Amino acid sequence: MSNSVTIRKIGNSQGVILPKAELERLGVSEGDKLSVVCTPEGIRLSPYDEQFVRQVETAKDFMDKYRDVFRELAK
């Protein structure tokens, strides 16, 4: 995105207004959820994917359960 946005007061919070072209590029509209990921370069916004979130949570649970096994395999 080459456009700049300004942080604005929205009720008791603060936020940014994304240009219509950027919303269209993301394939989202008013009321849709976005995933926010912090990266070394800043933040990344992407459409929220509930199935992906469930898969990541399942993978984290699996890795926690078998942490010791993974540690031994890494040796």
Residue 3 in domain: no
CA atoms of 56 and 32, how far apart (whole Å): 20
CB 35 within 8 A of CB 48: yes
Give the global pTM.
0.59
Residue 44 in domain: yes
Dump pLDDT digits (tens) for 17-42: 999 988 999 999 999 999 888 999 99
How many domains in the chain? 1
Residue 1 in domain: no
Dump pLDDT digits (tens) for 5-23: 899 999 999 999 999 988 9
Q: 32: domain range? A: 8-74
Residue 1 has pLDDT above 90, yes or no: no
